[in-house]
Amino acid sequence: MTVELVKHDASDADVLFAARVSTGAATIAAATPDGLSDRDAGLINYLMRDKHGSPFEHTSMTFRVEAPIFVVREFFRHRVGFSYNEESGRYKELEPVFYVPADGRPLRQVGKPGAYTFELGTYKQFMAVSGDIRRVSQEAYSTYKRLLDLEVAREVARMVLPVNIYSSFYVTCNARSLMHFLSLRTISDAARFPSHPQQEIAMVADQMEDIFSLLMPRTWEAYQANGRVAP
């Protein structure tokens, strides 16, 4: 899973100027994080706590993500405040890059839907998983290539490819929509609003959160302090 920040126009100061237009005190705060006063940080915390979400929207972050299709599918469920462009299996030949769970990826699912826990698998399970996934991926890809060699259209040939093949996409979001995504796609056992995403999308979300915490440190702190619930 690769997450790269392509460009951004997002800082804690953006939240402040938007919030302060309400009260007319719309002085633009200093642009560096260090420039934020305690009063500024307090305002951000208040907005987060009382769910005043709109001031967080005047920000923009564009990421390039590489992830297997089963992760992309979960990601693209996020509709509001998200813009996407993805590599197309109709327009280009896909590369033979496939996701195979690493050693240490829990393989056993225990419990009921909505309350699953995961446990490490046995050695036998691990060998089966990594061997089978590799084998099926290779066979599928060589079939794909054979069909392309026969001049079958890419959009038809790709039908044999498994959902663990990597795709790549650009995604643009704002701080509010990103926090909403993070609240659902990072792993949390909080009593209030626990979230149990599949581990692989959490690997993407964690990287996005790291970048977000650097771009907008006061906003991220307030998000943490208020139970990781998006405003």
**Interface of this chain with a copy of itself, residues 59 to 98, rule: CB under 8 A:** 59-60, 62, 64, 68-70, 72-73, 76-77, 79-80, 82-92
> Would you call 154 a catalytic residue per the annotation?
no
CA distance 192 to 197: 16
Report if residue 27 touches a copy of itself, rule: CB under 8 A.
no
Q: Which of residues 123-162 bind a copy of itself (CB under 8 A)?
A: 124-125, 128-129, 132-133, 135-137, 139-140, 143, 146-147, 150-162
Q: Which of residues 7-26 bind a copy of itself (CB under 8 A)?
A: 7-9, 14, 17-19, 21-24
Write out the two tokens for 50. Answer: 């009382």
Interface residue with a copy of itself, options 36, 44, 121, 219 (CB under 8 A): 121
In the numeric block, the tokens 């100061």 are attached to: 13
Report if residue 37 touches a copy of itself, rule: CB under 8 A.
no
Name residues whose C-beta falls within 8 Å of residue 89's C-beta, 6 or more positions apart in sequence: 154, 155, 158, 161
Residue 51's CB is within 10 A of a number of other CB atoms, namely 10
Q: Give the alpha-carbon dihedral of 200, 204, 205, 208, to 10 degrees.
A: 170
Q: Within 13 Å, how many C-alpha atoms sit on residue 39's CB side?
A: 5
CA distance 161 to 222: 43
Beta pairing partners, 86? 169
Q: Which of residues 158-197 bind a copy of itself (CB under 8 A)?
A: 158-164, 168-170, 172, 174, 183-184, 193-195
Catalytic residue among 158, 176, 185, 218: 185
Interface residue with a copy of itself, options 32, 37, 51, 210 (CB under 8 A): 51
Single out the segment in contact with a copy of itself by CB under 8 A; choices: 32-40, 52-60, 210-218. 52-60
